[in-house]
Amino acid sequence: MASPLSPCSLTPPAAFPGRLGWLRRRPFAGLQGAALLGLAILIWGANWPVMKAGLEHITPIWFAATRFALGGLCLFALQLATGSLRLPRRGDLPLVASVGLLQMLAFTVLGTLAMTEIPAGRSAVLAYTTPLWVTPAAILLFGERFGLRQAGGTLLGLAGVALLLNPLALDWRDVAVLKANLMLLAASLCWAVCILHLRRRRGASSAYHLAPWQMLVATLPLLVLARVVEGPYSGDGSPAFWQVALFVGPVATAFCFCAVNAASMRLPATAMASAMLGVPVVGLALSVLLLGEALTSALLAGVCAILGGIALVSLPARRG
């Protein structure tokens, strides 16, 4: 599945000038940021069918543990080599716990468990419904105000979820498949809770410096959970397994985190939010092309409604 490390978990620049003027003044920075972000989106989208294929070689919880163990080791090695490794400060600890346990551990475990029962493309779309839960939660819990566009986007996105879960598109008699779909919605809800926490609390260190520690916080409980639930390590050690493991760990987790972190320093936050809609689109398209998953009319309609709703919710209102 795609990495849960998104611009939502990064520390954005303090302020951005208008998009066009900023890009005119820093054209090369804008192009570099766009290239890095585009590459990360392609990799994260491809990660969904890759993860689905990887589940043929390892059980889901061990898979999640392997992913963050390899990704964390890469970031620890990189920071040691560059002399940038540092311990989290006391003010960082809530963010380390929140991202490590909710955005990494819970999101990934629920997603990998769900993909043992349902297609990767459908999983990518449902997992990225996170902004739809952030908006109403921010209104109810924090009294944040949103305009008609955000409200309409939430309703449109929820209508898309309803299309994907309606009894005509999903056999409700298949309890395992129904539970898998609900797991993905629960995964996106965990991510939403983490985003709300990040909105209300700032750490003393940068996201780049906290990332390996967050992956460590995710990895240690995952190792224990995998041993208790699934028994001894289940990876079959085949060449196909290691190809998948090296892709989802060092590439889709460690590299993509660094790429998006760098892109967030070069691109406006609105551009980052809009571009992230490409992840489920790429994931769905590659799952159809590479894994032969069916693209039904209900799935296509639900995807369009969800992505349209997320776009409306994510983009801020224009200023006068």
User: What confidence category does residue 251 fall into, taking pLDDT thresholds of 50, 70 and 90?
Assistant: very high
> Quick one: DSSP state of residue 91?
G
> Quick one: DSSP state of residue 89?
P
CA-based torsion, 26, 30, 31, 33: positive or negative: positive
**Six token digits for residue 165:** 């879960």
Average pLDDT over every residue of 193-221: 88
Q: Which amino acid is at 241?
A: F
Amino acid 30: pLDDT: 64
Give the mean pLDDT of the chain.
85
CA 179, chain centre distance (Å): 20
Q: In 3-state terms, what secondary structure has residue 269?
A: helix
Nearest to 258 by CA among 14, 110, 76: 76
CA distances from 284 to 47, 117, 154, 269, 300 (A): 11, 16, 21, 25, 10
- 18: alpha, beta or left? (left if phi > 0; alpha if psi -120 to 50): beta
Q: Lowest-confidence range among 158-167, 204-213, 262-271?
A: 262-271
Average pLDDT over every residue of 111-134: 91
H helices present in the chain, as ranges: 19-25, 27-54, 60-82, 93-98, 107-114, 120-127, 130-142, 148-165, 175-200, 207-230, 239-246, 256-264, 269-275, 278-291, 297-314
Average pLDDT over every residue of 256-269: 78
Q: Lowest-confidence range among 36-40, 56-60, 246-250, 260-264?
A: 260-264
Nearest to 9 by CA among 130, 122, 169, 117: 130
CA-based torsion, 66, 72, 76, 82: positive or negative: positive
Amino acid 131: pLDDT: 82
Q: Lowest-confidence range among 24-28, 67-71, 205-209?
A: 24-28
Amino acid 268: pLDDT: 73
Average pLDDT over every residue of 1-28: 44
